[in-house]
Amino acid sequence: MSDHELEPILEVKDLCVSYGKVEALHHVSIKVRPGEIVTVIGPNGAGKTTLLSAIMGVLPFSRGEVAYQGEAQVHVDVERMVARGMTLVPEKRELFGEMSVEDNLLLGAFMRRRLGFRDEAETLDKVFGIFPRLKERRGQMAGTLSGGERQMLAVGRALMAQPKILMLDEPSLGLAPLIVREIFRVIGDLRKTGVAILLVEQNARAALQVSDYGYVLETGEVALEGPSDALEDDPKVVEAYLGLGGKKH
């Protein structure tokens, strides 16, 4: 379990995001500590994707602040966040369809290369170790991959940046149960490498099992938060997100 004495690597305070006149996030505050896995669960349209996009700087926010590594910002610049070790696997994946799997992965290391690191070959080997399927298909165009392979490529490409914090938007979206289990195994394994993870999921049970701390986002507000174990036993969470059977190990 994580050490709650550590300073958070990411602290979102009082964040408000609007699309035109409609406010999609109302005063949301969350924290992620180094090496910790934090999950955000909630129904469709709750604002989970909006939250990750705002943290990354893809979407401007109207109020609040995003503090990353102790530096509070009211305006977030994507490239700067990437340079400082934040990586987002977006809901739409945004792969480079007409480029090979290997090129997609190498581009994941683009910022590290610009910063002067020359270790992409080793990182590539590590990613191929995590997802052997990608190695088999390294020459294939990303646009022709299956759904599960695309998911693996999106996560693999993010890992190429050797992030300090990895944000995953529904990594299990549309996958067969076997591959879902595979993806969550990888997320659990990543914990050992010390990377902090902010995980957005529909699959609440698996997300709460793999994570240390959880937030429940409903209609743009944090409805509930707590250690994942506690959330798994919370009657409201059980009823709304886990269904009958409740906690399972």
Partner 1 sequence: MDLQIALLLGQDGIVNGAIYALLALALVLVFAVTRVIFIPQGEFVAYGALSLASLQAGLLPGTLWLLLVLGLVVTALDAPALMRQGRQGGRRLATLVGWQCAYPLALLGVVAGGTPQSWPLLLQVLLVLAIVVPLGPQIYRTAYQPIAEAPVLILLIVSVAVHLALVGLGLLFFGAEGSRTPAFSEASFEIGDLTVSGQSLWVVGASLFLIVALYVFFEKSLYGKALRATAINRNGARLMGISTTFAGKLSFLLAAAIGVLSGILIAPITTVYYDTGFLIGLKGFVGAIVGGLASYPVAAAGALLVGLLESFSSFWASAFKEVIVFTLIIPVLVWRSLTTHHVEEEE
Ligand X SMILES: Nc1ncnc2c1ncn2[C@@H]1O[C@H](COP(=O)(O)OP(=O)(O)OP(=O)(O)O)[C@@H](O)[C@H]1O
Q: Give the distance between the most distant pair of CA atoms in the chain.
A: 52
Binding mask 138-177 for Mg ion (x = CB under 5 A): ----------------------------------------
**Minimal distance in Å, beta carbon 217 to Mg ion?**
10
* H or E element in which residue 205 lies: helix 204-210
Q: Are 68 and 10 in contact (CB under 8 A)?
A: yes
Buried b (16+ CB within 10 A) or exposed e, 103-119: ebbbbbbebbeeeeeee
Binding mask 105-144 for partner 1 (x = CB under 8 A): -xxx-xx-xx------------------------------
Binding mask 145-164 for partner 1 (x = CB under 8 A): ------------x---x---
Q: Are 35 and 2 in contact (CB under 8 A)?
A: yes
Pick between residue 89 and residue 111 the one whose CB is nearest to Mg ion.
Answer: 89
Give which of 13, 1, 47 is closest to 221, Cα–Cα. 47
**133 alpha-carbon distance from chain centroid:** 21
Q: Are 94 and 139 in contact (CB under 8 A)?
A: no
DSSP lists the bridge partners of residue 165 as 86, 196
**Minimal distance in Å, beta carbon 32 to partner 1?**
18
Give the integer Cα–Cα distance in Å for 88 and 104. 15
- Assess 87 for contact with partner 1 (CB under 8 A): yes
- Assess 49 for contact with Mg ion (CB under 5 A): yes
- Assess 60 for contact with partner 1 (CB under 8 A): no
Pick between residue 23 and residue 91 the one whose CB is nearest to Mg ion.
Answer: 91
Pick between residue 17 and residue 81 the one whose CB is nearest to ligand X.
Answer: 17
- The binding site for Mg ion (CB under 5 A) comprises 48-49, 91
- The binding site for partner 1 (CB under 8 A) comprises 56, 58, 78-79, 82-83, 87-88, 90, 92-99, 103, 106-108, 110-111, 113-114, 157, 161
